[in-house]
Structure 1
Amino acid sequence: MQIFSKHIRLSLVALSLLLVTPVMAQNSGRDMPTFESFDLNNDGTLTESEMKEARKIRAKERQEEGRMQRSVKSHYEFSRIDSNEDGVVSKKEFEDHQTRRRR
């Protein structure tokens, strides 16, 4: 009886891991947005308003797909990405920020 009970527990643990793995993979950074998806006017830089609009578009797409949403404070995020504080985000600043987020 103990062997049977042990097998059931191991099976439940394995099943739990299988159910959690897709959720973890969804949040692993592989679906991070590209600079181009935020550069709505294709000028090679991002303004804070451009990033807000791109986030709205991305959030709507994710909602339509039934995916989970995260609340992000846009101004705080923009100021963290704009490392040289010139009021725009370059492609390099954006990619550096994405790299830091993947860690």
Structure 2
Amino acid sequence: MSVAVCSFLVAQNLPNRGPIPFNSFDVNNDGVITSEEFYKVRNDKMTQMAKQNMPMRNAANAPMFESMDKNKDGKLTKEEFNEFRLQRMQNNMKNKAQGMGNGMGMQ
């Protein structure tokens, strides 16, 4: 099955809110995410949200596959994916605590 067909099936099961899980990005279930899978699923999610009149906020700040692929082998392992997510979450929490993120405004 092609990535396009598989990602269509995955798009039907993407969460409406929150981050997309690793397994949804791993369209062919081979245990890694390729850049093709990553961008296809992310674009499908953006399209799904736009059709529901709920465009993704901060889409311009969404991480790029290349920044997540630490060893630059063209594939994201579950470990790379989770490490990136954890680091991003920690940075967001740090920025919020310093009044630099989501709704804190200038204080």
Structures share fold, TM-score greater than 0.5: yes
Please give the secondary structure, in 2, of the residue aligned with 1:71. Answer: helix
1:71 aligned residue? 60
Q: 2:74 aligns with which of 58, 65, 87?
A: 87
Larger radius of gyration: 1
Task: Kindly state the Cα deviation for residue 91 of structure 1 after the two structures are TM-superposed.
Answer: 0.7
1:5 aligned residue? none
Task: Kindly state the Cα deviation for residue 55 of structure 1 after the two structures are TM-superposed.
Answer: 0.8
Q: TM-score, normalised by structure 2?
A: 0.59
Q: Trace 1:12-91 onto structure 2 (pairs within 5 A).
A: 31-69=18-56, 70-71=59-60, 77-91=64-78
2:83 aligned residue? 96
Please give the secondary structure, in 1, of the residue aligned with 2:60. Answer: coil
Q: Which structure carries more relative contact order (alpha carbon 8 Å, separation 6+)?
A: 1
Question: Matched residues in 1 for 2:29 and 2:60: separation?
Answer: 26
Question: Matched residues in 1 for 2:52 and 2:22: separation?
Answer: 21
- Preserved CA contact (<8 Å) 2:46 2:55: no
Task: Kindly state the Cα deviation for residue 71 of structure 1 after the two structures are TM-superposed.
Answer: 2.6
2:3 aligned residue? none
Q: CA RMSD in A?
A: 1.9
In the TM superposition, structure 1's runs of 4+ consecutive aligned residues that sit over 2 Å from their partners are none
More helix per residue: 1 or 2? Answer: 1
Please give the secondary structure, in 1, of the residue aligned with 2:27. Answer: coil
- Preserved CA contact (<8 Å) 1:46 1:90: yes
Q: TM-score, normalised by structure 1?
A: 0.61
Task: Give the number of equivalent residue pairs.
Answer: 72
Q: Which runs of 5+ in 1 are unaligned?
A: 1-29
Question: Matched residues in 2 for 1:91 and 1:72: separation?
Answer: 22
Amino acid across the alignment from 2:30: D
